[in-house]
Chains A and B, each alone.
Chain A
Amino acid sequence: EIVMTQSPATLSVSPGERATLSCRASESVVRNLAWYQQKPGLAPRLLIHGASTRATGVPARFSGSGSGTEFTLTISSLQSEDFAVYYCQQYKNWPPTYTFGQGTKLEIK
């Protein structure tokens, strides 16, 4: 099983500042990497797929980068609605053994 490790567990950032979240895979997932945002009581929302492609309707302040085993989600200028939990997910294999990271909580500083 491919293990996804996110860091940090919690990130405190002020509105208007940049946030950088990291995700590491235990083996290469090429670019089969997605980022999700989740707010309390709601389902996860897809932000980024293919490591760097924004999903439909996602603001341009969200960007993804990386390949292989190291990935980054950057939020360029934090808005109040961006404070949430963020998960990375690999979807490399078929038959699938999709795995998620444990999450990074982005909180207001």
Chain B
Amino acid sequence: QAQLVESGGGVVQPGTSLELSCVDSRLTFRRNSMHWVRQAPGKGPEWVGVVTNDGRNKYYGDSVGGRFFISRDTSRNTLYLQINSLRLEDTAVYYCVPGDPGDAFHTWGQGTLVTVSS
């Protein structure tokens, strides 16, 4: 049974907004920092950003600018990614990944596909 299940992807128009969710069924969700990683078609993975285990600190990759916002709801074991002003180049599979400082990405979700198209 999948431990990390992303949802919320689909076909969207440029300039619109979208919220992705990731439900984490592991017992350690509240202890881990949680990342979003995306992968455009035919490209390598790209780190999007992270929220710390307490939800207080959020860091983002240089390429996503100020359009991406990560949050988490520990009571629901859920991670979120809000993407505003979607661009064609945001087309990708988006993965949620647990990962603490100084550690690699041991567990990945199955991803959710976002296609930005007019």
A residues lining the B interface (CB < 8 Å): 1, 32, 34, 36, 43-46, 49-50, 55-56, 87, 89, 91, 94-103
Contact = CB atoms under 8 A, between A and B. Distances in A.
B104 A44 contact: no
Interface residues of B, number: 23
A34 B37 CA distance: 15
12 contacts: A32-B102, A36-B45, A43-B109, A50-B104, A55-B106, A56-B106, A89-B105, A91-B104, A96-B35, A96-B50, A100-B45, A102-B44
B2 to A, nearest CB: 10
A46 B62 contact: no
Contacts, number: 58
Interface of B: 35, 43-47, 50, 57, 59, 61-62, 95, 99, 101-106, 108-111
Contacts of A102: 43-44
Chief secondary structure at chain A's binding surface: loop
A100 B44 contact: yes
A97 B111 contact: no
